[in-house]
Amino acid sequence: MFWLGIVFVSAFLVLLVGAITQAVWIQRHIRHPRTVMALIVLASLVAIPASLSIALAEPDHFVGWAQYVIGAQTIFLVGITVVVFALRHPTIQPPKVRRVLAIGAHPDDLELACGGSLARFADEGHEVMAIVMSHGANGGRDEVRENEARLGADTLEVASVSVQDFTDTKMATEMERMVKVIELAVELFKPDVILTHSEHDQHQDHHAVHLATLRAGRRSSTILCYESPSATRDFAPNYFVDVAPYMDAKVAAVKRHKDQAGKPYMGAKVLRGAAVFRGSQARTEQAEGFEVVRALSSGLGDL
């Protein structure tokens, strides 16, 4: 009985010291760490004096209640072990679904710049929402271009697309209203990642959408800027998405924009060539490049 008392004192001391010194470990690996630590401290406060009294008692004067104390302590120790096991964080976390908000100035911008990435995100189970800021009336027939934007998004399997009515080529004059529209989308959709035009883009609408997104997404953790055909030579990607398996989907989505067919940057050869070039920069087969405005690791995850 003496030795049993010593064993229990030692076990609870180990738990107590462990709870105090391994506080960080407990915080990281156990859900509700405070509950577990409080349980250990409480159990120790009761069990250590009880065990000591058994350990220090003369064997001849050993009393029957010690059996119950030892029994209760055994249950305590097993109970704490079970609780710790039940509340542990699983080692492999299930993949987190991320919400990706992609914003483009004109109906074909998203397909051209980041169509492969959007198809990839959709296939990986992430939720993708697209906003097209205009019907593109200046560069084509606006009555068909809105529908083509929807067809393109469907091809990429983007979950939802919203086509707005800002004035093609004059978006910079509608900055306040654009910021409000994007702000509302950010508020409702709560994106983990926002994709938008780059500041290194010579199209005035692209530039305006970039600025509007940065203002509307001022509280968002992760903003990446994609590469449009009108990007300038200053566009310098530092984040890449491997799109090799998604280039067929990208080419098909771009082809849905029949109204724009014939423009030099719409061809499959150009799209694939650009992907190979960005891929070589990322040491992979084919990629789309992005400029990081800022990126939070938990927002990006394995995107």
Among 53-61, 62-70, 106-114, 238-246, which window interacts with Zn ion (CB under 5 A)? Answer: 106-114
Q: Which is nearer to Zn ion, 98 or 106 (CB)?
A: 106
Please work out the total of residues on this chain that contact Zn ion, with binding judged by CB under 5 A: 3
- Cα(80)–Cα(18) distance, rounded to whole angstroms? 13
Among 108-116, 143-151, 233-241, 275-283, which window interacts with Zn ion (CB under 5 A)? Answer: 108-116
Among 32-40, 107-115, 186-194, 250-258, which window interacts with Zn ion (CB under 5 A)? Answer: 107-115
Residue window 52-91: x/- pattern of binding to Zn ion, with contact defined by CB under 5 A: ----------------------------------------
Q: Does 255 bind Zn ion (CB under 5 A)?
A: no
Q: Which is nearer to Zn ion, 47 or 209 (CB)?
A: 209
Taking the complex as a whole, the smallest distance from the CB of residue 106 to Zn ion amounts, in Å, to 4
Q: Which is nearer to Zn ion, 50 or 105 (CB)?
A: 105
Instruction: Name which position in 106, 145, 250, 257 contacts Zn ion (CB under 5 A).
Output: 106
Taking the complex as a whole, the smallest distance from the CB of residue 90 to Zn ion amounts, in Å, to 44
Taking the complex as a whole, the smallest distance from the CB of residue 230 to Zn ion amounts, in Å, to 7
Closest-by-Cβ residue to Zn ion is 106
H, E, C per residue of the chain: CHHHHHHHHHHHHHHHHHHHHCHHHHHHHECCHHHHHHHHHHHHHHHHHHHHHHHHCCHHHCCCHHHHHHHHHHHHHHHHHHHHHHCECCCCCCCCCCEEEEEECCCCHHHHHHHHHHHHHHHCCCEEEEEECCCCCCCCCHHHHHHHHHHHHHHHCCCEEEECCCCCCCHHHHHHHHHHHHHHHHHHHCCCEEEECCCCECCHHHHHHHHHHHHHCCCCCCEEEECCCCECCCCCCCEEEECHHHHHHHHHHHHCCHHHCCCHHHCHHHHHHHHHHHHHHCCCCCEEEEEEEECCHHHHCCC
Residue 119 near residue 156, CB atoms below 8 Å: yes
Instruction: Name which position in 40, 105, 208, 247 contacts Zn ion (CB under 5 A).
Output: 105
Q: Which is nearer to Zn ion, 36 or 130 (CB)?
A: 130
Instruction: Name which position in 109, 168, 259, 291 contacts Zn ion (CB under 5 A).
Output: 109
Residue window 173-192: x/- pattern of binding to Zn ion, with contact defined by CB under 5 A: --------------------
Q: Residue 187, Cβ neighbours under 10 Å: how many?
A: 10
Q: Which is nearer to Zn ion, 106 or 257 (CB)?
A: 106
Residue numbers at the binding site for Zn ion (CB under 5 A)? 105-106, 109
